Chain A
Amino acid sequence: MLEVALTLIDTWCKENNYIISGYYQANERSKDSRVNQVAEKVASRISDNFSEAAIVMVDNSRLTVSCFEPIVNIYDHHENKWKHRDVTVDSFEDWNEAQKITSALLESRCYENLIDFDNHLDDLRNDWTNPVINKSVLDLC
């Protein structure tokens, strides 16, 4: 179903002038933020179409509602390996904005309405482009 998701999302991207530029993953266990085989496989597929693709792993153990610090690990593709990149506030376009918006979304439990592709496969009416949440993001900007 991963293949189905990538194909359909890619089709949508082309129609809407977007590109799949990376893959983020949060592992099941709070102390585990390794890049596992699934993440590597997906990201490699993505980097076939976009050479600067990145893997973003959520560091579960540091996740908080206030999001004061960036809690992601970023990996870039170098010579067939995924290398860790140092993440600072400057790695982001505008960390302060991002932090404020993310924190507001978490406080209002926006994640209860977040739709992923699995939700979409359960019921096609579930829109994985998340227009409602995306509008909230724009409103908070």
Chain B
Amino acid sequence: MASVSELYDVGWEEMRDKLRKWREDNSRNSEQIVDVGEELISDHSSKLGDDIWIIYEQVMIAALDCSRDDLALTCLQELRKQFPDSHRVKRLTGMRLEALERYDDANKHYDAILQEDPTNTAARKRKISILKAQGKSTEAIRELNEYLEQFVGDQEAWHELSELYINEHDYGKAAFCLEELMMTNPHNHLYCEQYAEVKYTQGGLENLELSRKYFAQALRLNNRNMRALFGLYMSASHIAASPKVSAKMKKDNMKYATWAAAQINRAYKNRPINLTINV
């Protein structure tokens, strides 16, 4: 099979830069990372300097995603040799055990890290991930709540918790998590839009109105957020169609829905695609 450098006519520097971009974007395109990373490591490791260690880590995790335990082990062994007492590398050892579904061994491993360093957030999050992988959602939720009592500023954790609650259809608690995120990140249009979706799902007139307001807010923060635009249309339409609203509310919401529909049609017309949608 042709190498990546042959197939795409790229040199090792471009491959190294690509890997860096994927790290910065937090992309989980594991098969591509394995393809590029494996070649870079085997053919050009001497040129990479100190970058090689973070590349080993990145490729190792991608290799676990692709069931390439051979590659994962190679990377892990290099890291262990270079950083023998590192908790960061111990976490990678644990992740490999998780990938092999040796959850008890992985847990023992993380517990050992926590013995030495009770504030190690990475080990705690891995333990919660194990609960999630085992389908133990209630326990995962409980552990994550306990974690957040200590590490109340951890946005990734709040977001994970909101997703866990959504999977359990506990929309009230999911909304609470998203409220935390919106408070600390008032300019993040995604949190606004996700909060609006949860409110929409909860249903009922009051929640629909809130959902419309937050879809509108998400749009103000980012006028290209299509989910927010569609959400505004759906929530306003439902409110306008409700028998419980005043004539004024009906009129206002029909106006919002009409405006949103026009924006949606405009968005589709301005993109060169085959579909024409009439909303």
Contacts and interface: CB of A to CB of B under 8 A. Distances in A.
A29 B133 contact: yes
Given A3-B234, A37-B169, A109-B31, A124 B278 contact: no
Contact residues on A (Cβ < 8 Å of other chain), bracket:
10 to 19
Interface stretch (A4-12, A51-59, A133-141): A4-12
29 contacts: A1-B197, A1-B227, A1-B230, A1-B231, A4-B230, A4-B234, A11-B277, A11-B278, A12-B277, A29-B135, A31-B135, A32-B135, A37-B169, A109-B31, A112-B31, A121-B227, A121-B230, A124-B267, A124-B268, A124-B271, A124-B273, A125-B271, A125-B272, A125-B273, A127-B273, A127-B275, A129-B274, A129-B275, A131-B274
Interface string B252-272: 000000000000000110011
B210 interface: no
Interface residues of B, number: 19
B226 interface: yes
A11 B277 CA distance: 8
Interface in A98-126: 109, 112, 121-122, 124-125
Contacts of A29: 133, 135
Interface of A: 1, 3-4, 8, 11-12, 29, 31-32, 37, 109, 112, 121-122, 124-125, 127, 129, 131
A6 to B, nearest CB: 11
A8 B273 contact: no
B274 A127 contact: yes
A127 B182 CA distance: 32
B234 to A, nearest CB: 6
A135 to B, nearest CB: 13
A29 B197 CA distance: 24
B269 to A, nearest CB: 10
A37 B226 CA distance: 26
Contacts of A12: 275, 277
B279 to A, nearest CB: 9
Contacts of B277: 8, 11-12
Nearest to A112: B31
A127 B268 CA distance: 12
Interface string B144-186: 0000000000000000000000000100000000000000000
A110 B267 CA distance: 28
A40 B278 CA distance: 29
Which are the 9 A-B pairs with shortest beta-carbon distances? A124-B271, A4-B230, A121-B226, A125-B271, A121-B227, A125-B273, A1-B227, A127-B273, A29-B135
A31 B133 CA distance: 10
Nearest to A125: B271
Contacts of A109: 31
A93 B197 CA distance: 39
A127 B227 CA distance: 16
Nearest to B270: A124
B189 to A, nearest CB: 13
A17 to B, nearest CB: 15
Contacts of B169: 37
A112 B29 CA distance: 9
A131 B273 CA distance: 11
A94 to B, nearest CB: 29
Contacts of A122: 226
Given A1-B230, A125-B273, 13 more contacts: A1-B197, A3-B234, A12-B275, A12-B277, A121-B226, A121-B227, A122-B226, A124-B226, A124-B273, A125-B271, A125-B272, A127-B275, A131-B274
